[in-house]
Amino acid sequence: MSFFSKAIVGLDIGSSTIKIVQLKPEANQWKLVSMGIVEIPKESLDAKNLDSQRSTIVETIKRVFKESGIKTKKVVTSLSGDSVIIRYVKLPFMTEEELRGSIAREAEQYIPLNIDQVVLDFQILGETQEDGQRKLDVLLVAAKVDVVDQHLLMLKLAGLSPMVIDIDAFALQNAYEINRVEPSEETIALINMGASLTTINIIEGNNTRFTRDIPVAGNDFTKEIQKEFNLKFSEAEELKKSHGAISMEEDDFSLSTVSHKDDRVLRMSDVMTPVLNKLLGEIRRSFDYYETQARKKTVERVILLGGSARLKNVNRFLANKLGIPVEHFGAFRNVEASKNIDPERMAENEFHMGVCLGLALRQVES
Ligand SMILES: Nc1ncnc2c1ncn2[C@@H]1O[C@H](COP(=O)(O)OP(=O)(O)OP(=O)(O)O)[C@@H](O)[C@H]1O
Ligand SMILES: [Mg+2]
């Protein structure tokens, strides 16, 4: 027997950063054993063929393993974006076994792709009565076969063994649940703003009711800054991280936070605000959709995370416009760290770590 045989790590291969988390269960809490985060060199992804893009990612995966000192090769990873389709559907009542046998036929009408070109999975969430008939509430997940194959090939080239392939939105929910102070029936929206995607997950009590990946996120802010100042992507990225902020009408932004010599902050805010408004429009549409489906329930609170949640005032902007509280969510709020982990590094990166923490939590279920 080995103490390490059960060690599984969460590996979140984002479009801009690769994150790794290893947890250990302790008395009544989770302990963070190791973590790492490494940026993917963006310039080596641009204008390259698929093979060399893949090797850039494989190299970055190797770096994040090295940085964190993690030795196990068993990983839980995830997919996101438009390669994954998630649907909440009602199907005729049947046993789980029967459904497994007929899932392709049942799923066909809900999945806008050729059913032979997707990997299908499902989870029975419960049962309901509709027009006097027993129905099953089912969560359907379909991922494109070629995307899954590419993902597996990449993990293989990195020398890893995939145990589970999860979905970003579900991983976020798991991360949120272990950090929640007490169970509640309220409806919240987790909003994870990454680099290329913003994932929304609307949760009622303990159940996800709606998820969507919106293709508006940090890269769109950076591209606007790049155009405005005529910079390289990496330079615009640095400027955004060091001086970026969204200006708020009620702050006298031009006087209080910005030095008169440096109008870059205001110019950045001016070019980033339309991007944020576009994202806001998509968030509202998602909330409206949920609210019309969900028997008069409304989203009561937003929990904001992802690397782009670090942009100054994004939370205030969304709270103002949506008219509900928007709270930042640090993934490690309720996680104790072992001594070898630098608390500053942990705090600095915890917004990025929601998905990865959720992936690492899968070890108990496998
Ligand atoms: N201080 C900061 N201010 C503003 N944006 C920041 C800051 N730090 C990081 N970001 C942004 O966060 C994003 C990266 O976040 P994250 O690691 O969550 O993304 P990802 O998982 O790689 O992306 P995706 O999930 O969309 O593929 C980048 O767009 C980066 O510019
Ligand atoms: Mg991400």
Assess whether 258 and 320 both reside in one domain.
Answer: yes
Residue nearest ligand 1's atom 12 by CA? 307
Long-range (24+ apart) CB contacts under 8 A made by 152-161 are: 153/54, 154/13, 154/54, 154/57, 154/58, 154/61, 155/75, 155/77, 157/54, 157/55, 157/58, 158/58, 158/61, 158/62, 159/73, 160/11, 160/61, 160/73, 160/74, 160/75, 161/73, 161/74, 161/75
- Sign for the CA dihedral angle at 318, 321, 322, 324 comes to positive
Residue 195 falls inside a structural domain: no
Assess whether 256 and 310 both reside in one domain.
Answer: yes
- Choice from 147, 241, 351, 353 to test ligand 1 binding pocket (greatest atom count within 8 A of CB): 241
CATH code of the domain covering residue 118: 3.30.1490.300
Query: How high is the pLDDT of residue 252?
Result: 63
Residue 203 falls inside a structural domain: no
Query: How high is the pLDDT of residue 174?
Result: 92
Query: How high is the pLDDT of residue 76?
Result: 96
Residue 205 falls inside a structural domain: no
Of the residues 144, 173, 196, the one at which a domain ends: 144
> Does residue 199 line the site of ligand 1, with CB under 6 A?
no
Query: How high is the pLDDT of residue 253?
Result: 56
Query: How high is the pLDDT of residue 150?
Result: 94
Assess whether 92 and 227 both reside in one domain.
Answer: no
Q: Which runs of consecutive H residues, i.e. helices, occur in the chain?
A: 50-68, 96-107, 145-157, 168-179, 218-229, 233-243, 253-256, 264-293, 314-322, 343-349, 354-360
- Please check the confidence at residue 5 and state whether its pLDDT lies above 50: no
Q: Band of the pLDDT at 1, cuts 50, 70, 90?
A: very low
Of the residues 120, 144, 168, the one at which a domain ends: 144
* Mean per-residue pLDDT, 39-53: 83
Assess whether 68 and 109 both reside in one domain.
Answer: no
Assess whether 88 and 78 both reside in one domain.
Answer: no
Residue 207 falls inside a structural domain: no
Q: Band of the pLDDT at 365, cuts 50, 70, 90?
A: very low
- Please check the confidence at residue 364 and state whether its pLDDT lies above 80: no
Residue 198 falls inside a structural domain: no
Structural domain tally of the chain? Answer: 3
> Does residue 38 line the site of ligand 1, with CB under 6 A?
no
> Does residue 217 line the site of ligand 1, with CB under 6 A?
yes
Assess whether 131 and 41 both reside in one domain.
Answer: no
pLDDT digits (tens, 9 = 90+) for 187-239: 999 999 999 999 999 998 888 889 999 999 999 999 999 999 999 999 999 99
Atom of ligand 1 nearest to the CA of 219: 29
- Please check the confidence at residue 267 and state whether its pLDDT lies above 70: yes
Residue-range definition of the domain harbouring residue 283:
218-326
Residue 187 falls inside a structural domain: no
pLDDT digits (tens, 9 = 90+) for 107-165: 999 998 899 999 999 999 888 888 889 999 999 999 999 999 999 999 999 999 999 99
* Mean per-residue pLDDT, 20-44: 90
Assess whether 49 and 156 both reside in one domain.
Answer: yes
Q: Give the Å distance between the CA of 199 and the centre of ligand 1.
A: 13
> Does residue 310 line the site of ligand 1, with CB under 6 A?
yes
Residue 191 falls inside a structural domain: no
Residue 285 falls inside a structural domain: yes
Assess whether 240 and 315 both reside in one domain.
Answer: yes
* Mean per-residue pLDDT, 29-37: 92
Assess whether 315 and 336 both reside in one domain.
Answer: no
Query: How high is the pLDDT of residue 355?
Result: 97
CATH code of the domain covering residue 238: 3.30.420.40
Query: Which structure tokens are listed for 2?
Result: 């080995």
Assess whether 136 and 150 both reside in one domain.
Answer: no
> Does residue 241 line the site of ligand 1, with CB under 6 A?
yes
Atom of ligand 1 nearest to the CA of 193: 18
Q: Band of the pLDDT at 2, cuts 50, 70, 90?
A: very low
> Does residue 234 line the site of ligand 1, with CB under 6 A?
no
Assess whether 139 and 156 both reside in one domain.
Answer: no
Ligand nearest to the CA of 171: 2
Between the CA of residue 190 and those of 200, 286, 290, 351, what are the distances in Å? 6, 12, 13, 12
Closest CA to 353 of 24, 4, 49, 38: 38
Residue nearest ligand 1's atom 6 by CA? 308
Ligand nearest to the CA of 306: 1
Percent residues over pLDDT 70 in the chain: 93
pLDDT digits (tens, 9 = 90+) for 300-322: 999 999 999 999 999 999 999 99
**Cα distance from N-terminal residue to C-terminal residue, the chain:** 18
Closest CA to 323 of 349, 307, 300: 300
Assess whether 223 and 296 both reside in one domain.
Answer: yes
- Please check the confidence at residue 274 and state whether its pLDDT lies above 90: yes
